[in-house]
Amino acid sequence: MEEVIEYDYRSRVSDGRKLEHAGIAGMVRMAAKLRSRQFSHVFIFSSRVRYALMALAANIPHRGGFGFGIVERVVLNMPPYIERFRGPGSWVYPEATAFAIAQKFVSKPLVPRLTVPDLELESARRELHSLPVARVALAIGTSEPRKDWGDANFGQLAGMLVAQGFAVVVLGGPAETERARRVAELAGASAAVRTVCQPSVLRSAAVLKTCRLCVGNDTGILNVAAAVEVPSLGLFGVTKPLMHDPLLSGIEGNGMGTIAPEVVLAETHRLLTLHACDGEPAEPRAKVG
């Protein structure tokens, strides 16, 4: 990955800033940004019509996508198209895989992986060098309030992890800065808790690469963690669990409030033991005071 062009169009309750790409005007701005790059091809791994329309407005001549609906097929011009996924679990990966195979990017389903640039990884290591190496990342961001496990639960989990000798990295974007601070305070304001809230996807990937496990809401960061080969534990109280990667696990509940921190802690220990590698112990060698 050489570059990430952010498309931030959906505001959240915790986000007090005006989004660059919100609404019709935001779509126009994004189309202009894409047009300036003079791309020849675009492959849209989504069924949302807005992406196809922006690609058309950006004057990208070759446009491929899922093609589920009539409007998509009018705007897109690079068949073959695919059918909707009807099976269990999250729909994202099966449909993206079917599209990749249809477009001959791959010949069979592959587990997605992401290589973190060396400069980003070294920067993350320097930023977190004072923390113990037994680190657990907490991905507190969410696109919808109903998917949010809540600051109190994350704070309680962080406190229990610190008490057992782990370091905790509270990970989010700029919109989660205040929330991350609250989670750190609820954990006891320990030196073993660090908050990292910035807009760079690559920096988040680099930070995750320095951790042994990621625990979080149903959010894209779970996929990023697994893609950089860090085991992920998702909390799925209202959505279907992600099932496409052996490094992805999930705890399901009847609402986010039904998932207890003690259950998450126990599953965290199980996964750390399951995925222990390179001669490193699954548990920290000493507790952090």
pLDDT tens digits, 129-178: 999 999 999 999 998 899 999 999 999 999 999 999 999 999 999 889 99
- The number of folded domains in the chain is 2
Whether 129 and 242 map to the same domain: the answer is: yes
Which of 288, 289, 283 lies closest to 134 in space, CA to CA?
A: 283
Q: What confidence tier does 231 reach under pLDDT thresholds 50, 70, 90?
A: very high
Residue 137's DSSP bridge partners are 169, 214
Q: Are 235 and 150 in contact (CB under 8 A)?
A: no
Instruction: Please indicate, yes or no, whether residues 247 and 168 belong to a single structural domain of this protein.
Output: yes
Neighbours of 257 (CB within 10 A): 11
Same domain for 134 and 94? no
Contact 111, 60 (CB under 8 A): no
State the pLDDT at residue 3: 77
Does 171 share its domain with 216?
yes
Q: Is the pLDDT of residue 289 over 70?
A: no
Q: Are 48 and 37 in contact (CB under 8 A)?
A: no
Among residues 102, 137, 161, which one ends one of the domains? 102
Q: What is the pLDDT of residues 235-284, one digit of tens each?
A: 999 988 887 789 999 999 999 999 999 999 999 999 999 988 544 545 55
Give the separation between CA 151 and CA 180, rounded to whole angstroms.
Answer: 8
**CATH (domain of 248):** 3.40.50.2000
Query: Rg of the chain's alpha carbons, rounded to an integer?
Result: 20
Q: Are 152 and 122 in contact (CB under 8 A)?
A: no
Does 12 score more than 60 pLDDT?
no
Answer yes or no: do 81 and 139 share one domain: no
Q: How many residues would you count in the chain? A: 289
% the chain with pLDDT above 90: 70
3-state secondary structure of 194: strand
Tokens for 146, please give them.
């109903």
Gap between the Cα atoms of 284 and 196, Å rounded: 22
Helix (H, G, I), strand (E, B) or coil at 31: helix
> Coil, strand, or helix at residue 250?
strand
Its domain, for residue 60, covers: 23-102
**How far from the centroid of its chain's Cα atoms is residue 37's Cα?**
26
Q: 126 and 188 share a domain?
A: yes
SS3 234: strand
Q: Are residues 83 and 199 in the same domain?
A: no
Residue found under tokens 């069979």: 108
179 membership: H or E segment, kind and range: helix 177-186
Confidence (pTM): 0.74
Q: Is the pLDDT of residue 61 over 80?
A: yes
77 part of a folded domain: yes
Looking at the structure, tell me whether residues 64 and 185 fall in a common domain: no
Q: What are the pLDDT digits (tens) for 83-113?
A: 998 877 666 778 888 999 999 999 998 888 9
77 shares its domain with 179: no
The b/e string for 129-145 (b: 16+ C-beta within 10 A; e otherwise) is eebbebbbbbbbbbeee
Instruction: Give the model's pLDDT for residue 263.
Output: 97
């492959």: which residue's tokens? 43
